[in-house]
Amino acid sequence: MDLYTLTIKQARQLLDNKEISSKELTSALLNRIEEHDDGIKAFISIDRDLALSEAKKADEQIQADKAGLLTGIPIALKDLLCTKGMKTTCASQILADFVPQYDATAVSKLKESGAVIIGKTNMDEFAMGSSTENSSFQITANPWDNDYVPGGSSGGSAAAVAAQFCCGAIGTDTGGSIRQPASHCGVVGLKPTYGRVSRFGLVSYASSLDQIGPITRTVEDTALLMNVISGYDKSDSTSADVGTPDFTKALDLFDKESLKGMTAGIPKEYLSVEGIDPDVEKIFNESKIILEDLGVELKEICLPHSEYVVAAYYIIAPCEASSNLARYDGVKYGFRDTGSQDLIEMYKKTKSKGFGQEVQRRIIIGTYSLSAGYYDAYYGRASQVRTLIMDDFSKAFENCDFILSPVAPTPAFKIGENIDDPLTMYLSDIFTLSANMAGVPGISVPAGYSSSGLPIGIQMMANRFDELTLIKAGYGFEQALCLESKFPKI
């Protein structure tokens, strides 16, 4: 058996039965990374020795029958999560040598449950982008076809899961960065409700929209990782004290009847979005039939302010980013330009050299939109639109259990195809941004392939703190479709 093919659940069983060791599993994945990551470039950093020594400790725990949920299971982390003693670059030159003093809460929780951190994955710089081409280190290729992007910004995490470099991974999602790369790479990705997972130790992009979530090979594995990373944290003032359900338990009790009587809302505004690829439309229509066969009732619903989502997001996110990124001034952290005559010149040169083009573009848009005289017209107005979008979602969930939509208007595009056209890139987020604006959870589940063999997912969004519905519906869909064991040949 090739150990790198194992899901988290399968690995857990084999480890617990002592049929395999974590050292064997971790080595198998590290070897596969060594052999194939040159062509994919999913990872920014790997610490082979550390991973193997963690695996050894995990094996001791397992031998002593003290295994936690993830003891001995190799997990990859987006390089936006702080890891104590391990470089956290955010794929930016400005943090190229930054080594945090502490772990993000989600990372501590993973470690406490025994996970082996196999490496830090590539991403768009500071999570700004939809293709992972904005990394200042390397471009990640889609494991299904290396000429194509893996999506972004958590493209490294999604590619690492698809390429079978890790059993599961963690990404972050500010406007789609878990769901869209999951869709483009043929894996499962869940953006939790805002507040469900602590953001402490997550390097901020747009704080009111950012969420950490799992990227895995199966919905069951997503549920498992949710059990580990969710929960109230007093170190994050926006973390919600709502209790954590057992996300896997719902699946233990799952049967053919479980989705019967559920209602899926299809937003009528989404059907008229321009530029939807015919393959995406075809798979979306097929997915509706699969859900209907499972007993889900489909219903047209309204999200009347959908047409303003992209415009409002691309004001709010850059505004928050311009404020969050002000701290990288050459004094407090990371890179500093040393050839300057005075402080102002040092600030200018540090930021010009340390930040890539897209990050600078967002800082400028955000600073402009927040400046006196423009604040009301841009940030103020975008915030009002955000409230209307939230209301749309609250009303929609009075009539349905979850909302069904495509994840992105097209399958993965070619590397370089959209890089000089930020507006086209921004428009590709049309179906994912609103979940962040409304704070609701969303899942992307593999749903089929384009005519050229690239994966396409579907998205389900549920009411705040109702991830369970997404996990159940996603699981039912995945089981009915039976695609989950198909992985790219790399």
Give the binding site for ligand GLN (CB under 6 A). 127-130, 153, 173-177, 205, 317, 429
In the annotation, is 434 catalytic? Answer: no
Cα 248 from Cα 12, distance rounded (Å)? 14
Cβ partners under 8 Å of residue 421, min gap 6 = none
Cα 475 from Cα 459, distance rounded (Å)? 13
Rank residues 173 and 484 by Cβ distance to ligand GLN and give the closer one: 173
Cα 436 from Cα 313, distance rounded (Å)? 9
- Residue pair 138/58 in contact (Cβ under 8 Å)? The answer is no
Rank residues 88 and 174 by Cβ distance to ligand GLN and give the closer one: 174
Phi then psi dihedrals of residue 358, to 5 deg: -65, -40
In the annotation, is 22 catalytic? Answer: no
Distances in whole angstroms, Cα of residue 293 to Cα of each of 9, 67, 402, 442: 27, 40, 16, 22
Instruction: Kindly state the tokens that stand for 223.
Output: 């549920």
Q: Are strands 74-78 and 263-267 parallel, antiparallel or unpaired?
A: unpaired
Q: Helix count (H) and strand count (E) of the chain?
A: 17, 11
Rank residues 354 and 442 by Cβ distance to ligand GLN and give the closer one: 442
At closest approach, how far in Å is the CB of 123 from ligand GLN? 8
What one-letter code names the amino acid at 246? D
Rank residues 130 and 469 by Cβ distance to ligand GLN and give the closer one: 130
In the annotation, is 177 catalytic? Answer: yes
Identified catalytic residue from 9, 23, 78, 191: 78
At closest approach, how far in Å is the CB of 257 from ligand GLN? 36
Q: How many CB atoms lie within 10 A of CB 120?
A: 25
Identified catalytic residue from 135, 136, 177, 434: 177
Identified catalytic residue from 108, 153, 183, 198: 153
β-bridge partners, 211:
173
Cβ partners under 8 Å of residue 360, min gap 6 = 351, 352
Rank residues 317 and 445 by Cβ distance to ligand GLN and give the closer one: 317
Query: Catalytic residues, which ones?
Result: 78, 153, 177
